[in-house]
Structure 1
Amino acid sequence: MYFLGIDLGSSSVKLSVFDAEKGCTVGAVTAPEFEMDIIAPAFGWAEQDPNSWWEYVKDGIQALKNKKNIDLKQIAGIGIAYQMHGLVLVDENLNPVRSSIIWCDSRAAVIGNETYDLMGHDYCQQQILGSPGNFTASKLKWVQTNQPEVFEKAAYMMLPGDFIAAKLSGVAQISTSGLSEAALWNFSKGSLATEVLQAMGLPDNIIPEIVPNFGYQATIHPDVAFELGLHTAVKITYRAGDQPNNALSLNVLKPGEIATTAGTSAVIYAVSDSDNYDKENRINTFLHVNNTPLEKKNGVLLCINGSGILYQWLRKIMSVNSNDLIAYEKLNAEAAKLKAGSEGLRFYPFGNGVERIFNNKKANSGIQNLNFNIHQSSHLVRSACEGIVFAMNYGFDVMKSVGAGGEMVRAGNANLFLSPVFREIFTNTTQTTLELYNTSGAEGAARGAAYGYGYYASLEEAFAGLKCIERIEPNPILTAQYQDIYQEWKNHINIEI
């Protein structure tokens, strides 16, 4: 029996078909073959067209059939992972009424902060474990205030993955963990945070049907099944934001376990059985995928917006006058030419919107200590890797302060973690053991779908075949070096007052 995993990112859509009987992926594709556009109508804004996501999902499904020879009729269930915090507004026919305001758009931060002050800081921290900040609820309020004619057309708000599920099934839904990432979950009551909606003056009927992360959610619409070549009995049985799903993909399910990723953004995500929060809102807590009313499981998350997108930027500027973009492997090789510290060059990767670790305040972004007589392209690449990890460690220290730290971290062997230099910097700066796994968010979503469908009796069974492919321990000499470099880097962070 096959299960399809869809991982909707802001750069691409990845799809994997997982054979539950054999416990392995039998086909995987990425669509489109280029990186998806992010529209920036104004500084600090970031939007994408939800209809383009759907077209790329359909393209990917056809590529699984035509390029990977997958028998689509064997797919029994679908799991969906998606870029978190984005706002999709649809009409009654589930058609978008505007572009999606995606995760790295910072226009609504002021609204979230105003709501935080209005509701009271202590109240918000106790109920929603932080500020509404720049999350989906604040973006919804921004549309209501600034584009009332658009808001009037909206029947439902949803997150990016909910839109894909709706296009598959014809049913508007949102998950419990999805509400938590929208700042619309009351942790103390275990229900929709109607208090936030009321404080923002938002109607509660714009929230669609609420479903759990695992289990039967909807059946594919017959017309869609016919168009895509899928069986009409295919069920949607799992959905989650990309970071909770990344943790699931790495079998990070128990309190004290930690996952990390460094894709477009860089994230460290720790599972906790407590309602952890940071009074300065530099990190955030959401419902983890396996949370239940009887067994609390939260995910404490730090996010750095400028990670893989910084590497993409470097790739582009280092490919000037070339018909082809320089390979990421070449960038990794450039970084490996140098020792720790990049001969004094420092990179601050804060050029992709305001950062949560600075409470949504602007911080200096760019290069320090540039010397035209010393620094070359290899210095630029290595200092960028160091800057990304140093920013992650800055947030990791905050996580530790609220009891969400640890000494072992799991990552997929993908994105920046493909670089041995990046892995060295991460392990020795965070002073943690790094375990690498050959998995992906799309495969994790497929395994989640298999569990939600009922093929596996437990998540432990669903991930029984997941094996660590490499374990990297901190090196005491390098740890000492990176601690000195990190402290110097940290001392020169400039946060807007």
Structure 2
Amino acid sequence: MSYVLGIDLGTSSLKGILMNKAGQVIAEASAEYDIDSPAPGFSEQHPEYWVVACEEVLTRLSIEVADFGAELEAISFSGQMHSLVTLGDEDTLAYPAILWNDVRTTKQCQQIMDTFGETIIEITKNIVLEGFTLPKILWLQQNKPEVWEKVRKIMLPKDYLAFILTGNMHCEYSDAAGTSLFDIEKREWSAAICEKFAIDMSILPPVVSSVEQVGVVNASYAKRFGLQREVKVFAGGADNACAALGAGVVNEDYALVSLGTSGVFSSFEAEISNYKGKLHFFNHVIPNANYSMGVTLAAGNSLNWFKNTFGKGLSFAELLADVYTVAPGSEGLLFTPYIVGERTPHIDSKIRGSFIGIDTRHELKHFARAVLEGITFSLKDAQVLMEEAKNKKFKQIISVGGGAKNADWMQMQADIFNAEIIRLEVEQGPGVGACMIAAVGNGWFEDFEACRNIFVQYKDATFTPREENVQKYEQLYDVYTQVYPATKTICSTLTNFNE
């Protein structure tokens, strides 16, 4: 039996998923690591954490699966985006990796957008935010010049891990697209951006497709883990792109809604689009394709906050047990989930959440339903931008994460998005996308469409829109979109007052 291994290098853990040609998960293993915060707003990791975690995962899989060493054919990766890895002479690490969720670079982002913003958006199709790679480079230049002088190569996390396994350096399109250094349309590093910000282009690794073989597992690791054949290593992709692939979003008929701590609404895009920063737009792991993505910063986070504040002692099941008894619209109660600011489409760190329309008849169940509806409205903002830009309507939306575990919330999604909502039979996250890249790269399948038909399975139950609810939610969504402009100045004043 032949295997491929998908390695998902996340923010707090590394996961390995071993799959066979039938798309079955043979085994899984994971290893956790810490996030270092040496100063307020700083979020760092030593890349050695990832290497040790990868070795732990490979060890566990080699012990758990008897023919792991004999049958493993290929490895690929999914990785946290944007995080900056810097290498000096002899490929030694020059500085801890500055992670995507590090927020020290507000000043640098403002500098970039003030001096080169329109050009940046035209080239990269994205506004520069604190999470992206370019402002991290500027922070090093301005605050650690002695470190920057030593930098000979920059990499992204999954690519560093591939370098450790193979000895070869590269980057890959979907990850390069999230650096604010990459020309999305030309699919190459931008000489104009590098020149503007004094970045020697020789420090940037060559860029390859996700399914390009970047090497084989080196002899030391092959011996250590009992690998009996030459194991191919394929480039892999950014975690959001791999998540969409692993959910089966391989053409423009489908979208993905992911409800974790934050919320993501993403879709496949065959052509180049420029949403002028209102949506993220990146090259895909699927060759010659792209994807757009809207983000709400507090999806599950809003529900967690609500439970911890108003439903202490209740499980989520108990908190949401009666929401089905409340009609759409929560009897005139509306929630905006801006409790930590908002990303799509407003990009406003000072906006804050609201309950609008509270009166004496509202009980816990009304507030709970309003929270679910508000989170879903915030993701509809991204859906509307995508569908209006393409003059289209999504055939189906695949829901993953916490929102896919509650049938009442699934029905709300169907009604608010006005689309069929389906769920994965088994959710494995971006690791499945990494396995699919290894499988296609290794020649198991002709393309990702063929791979999807084997590797991605959906539950039989489909949630379809209810026309009477759709009409009501369309009216409520119009009201929802009025809350942001009505509260923007108030929230900014209150935020400044508390600083």
TM range (shorter): 0.7 to 0.9
Provide the secondary structure at the position in 2 that maps to 1:474: coil
Give the match for residue 445 of structure 1: 434
Q: CA separation of 1:364/1:209 partners in 2, compared to 1, >3 Å: closer, same or farther? A: same
CA distance in 2, matches of 1:299, 1:343: 37
Shift of 1:256: 4.4
Q: Distance in 1 between matches of 2:369 and 2:348?
A: 27
Mark the CA change 1:358 to 1:216 in structure 2 (over 3 Å): closer, same or farther: same
Which residue is 1:80 aligned to? 77
Give the equivalent residue in structure 1 for 2:294: 302
Q: How far off is 1:144 after superposition?
A: 1.9
Structure 1 residue 448, shift from structure 2 partner: 1.3
Cα distance, 1:4–1:392 mapped onto 2, change above 3 Å: same
Look up the match of 1:141.
138
The structural deviation recorded for 1:374 is: 4.9
* Partner SS state of residue 358, structure 1: coil
Taking the TM superposition and a 5 Å limit, the aligned residue runs for 1:144-163 are 144-163=141-160
- Distance between the aligned counterparts of 1:228 and 1:351, measured in 2? 47
- The separation in 2 between residues aligned to 1:109 and 1:453, in whole angstroms, is 42
**Residue 397 of structure 1 aligns with which residue?**
384
Aligned-pair CA distance for 1:19: 0.2
* Shift in alpha-carbon separation, 1:231–1:405, aligned structure 2, 3 A: farther
Does the Cα contact within 8 Å between 2:217 and 2:233 map onto a contact in 1? yes
- Secondary structure of the 1:472 match is coil
Aligned residue identity for 2:127: S
Aligned 1:118-267 pairs, distance under 5 A: 118-119=115-116, 121=118, 123-134=119-130, 135-231=132-228, 233-267=230-264
- The Cα of 1:249 is off from its aligned counterpart by 1.5
SS at match of 1:189: coil
The amino acid across from 1:302 in the alignment is G
Percent sequence identity over aligned pairs: 22
C-alpha contact 1:245 1:289 (8 A) present in aligned 2: yes
Give CA deviations for 1:186-235 in whole Å, capped at 9, x if unaligned.
23433211211111222222212322211211222322334444456222
Q: Name the SS of the counterpart of 2:446 in structure 1.
A: coil
Corresponding residue for 2:452?
A: 463
Task: Give the distance between the partners of 1:59 and 1:345, measured in 2 at CA.
Answer: 49
CA offsets per residue over residues 361-389 of structure 1, 9 Å max, x none?
Answer: 4321465667799544x556544433321
SS in 2 for 1:422: helix
Equivalent residue for 1:388, pick from 354, 375, 387 = 375
How far is the alpha carbon of 1:283 from its aligned partner? Answer: 0.5
How far off is 1:450 after superposition? Answer: 1.0
Contact 2:77 2:235 in 1 (8 A): yes
1:284 partnered with 2:280: yes
Q: 1:332 to 1:61 in 2, by over 3 A?
A: farther
Partner of 1:15: 16
Task: State the aligned residue count.
Answer: 482
Residues 106, 354 of structure 1: 8 Å contact kept: no
Q: Secondary structure of 2:241's match?
A: helix
What RMSD in Å do the two structures reach over aligned CA positions? 3.3
Cα deviation, 1:214-263, whole Å, max 9, x if unaligned, reads 12112223223344444562221141111211221133223444223223
Q: TM-score with structure 2 length normalisation?
A: 0.84
What's 2:497 paired with? none
User: Would the aligned equivalents of 2:253 and 2:394 in 1 still touch at CA under 8 Å?
Assistant: no
Partner deviation per Cα, 1:8-36 (whole Å, 9 max, x = no partner): 3335433211101x23222234444xxx6
Q: CA offsets, 1:28-50, max 9 Å, x none? A: 34444xxx665556665544454
Name 1:478's counterpart in structure 2.
469
Within 5 Å, give how 1:326-475 maps onto structure 2. 333=321, 338-342=326-330, 346-352=334-340, 355-359=343-347, 361-365=349-353, 374-376=362-364, 381-403=368-390, 406-411=393-398, 413-438=400-425, 439-440=427-428, 441-465=430-454, 466-469=456-459, 470-475=461-466
* 5+ residue gaps, structure 2: 493-499
Q: Which moved more, 1:346-355 or 1:388-397?
A: 346-355
Instruction: Find 2:479's aligned residue among 476, 479, 488.
Output: 488
Change beyond 3 A, Cα 1:271–1:336: same
Residues 254 and 394 in structure 2, CA contact (< 8 A), matched pair in contact too = no
How far has the Cα of 1:169 moved from its partner? 2.6
Q: Helix, strand or coil: the match of 2:177?
A: helix
| Aligned mates of 2:483, 2:443 — CA distance in 1 | 52
Bigger Cα displacement from structure 2, 437-446 vs 149-158: 149-158
Partner SS state of residue 402, structure 1: helix
Q: TM-score, normalised by structure 1?
A: 0.84
Q: Does the 8 Å contact 1:168/1:224 carry over to 2?
A: yes
Instruction: Choose 429-438 or 358-367, whichever is displaced more.
Output: 358-367
Structure 1 stretch displaced more, 98-107 or 74-83: 98-107
- C-alpha separation between the residues in 2 aligned to 1:54 and 1:314? 38
Q: Is the 8 A contact 1:238 1:445 kept in 2?
A: no
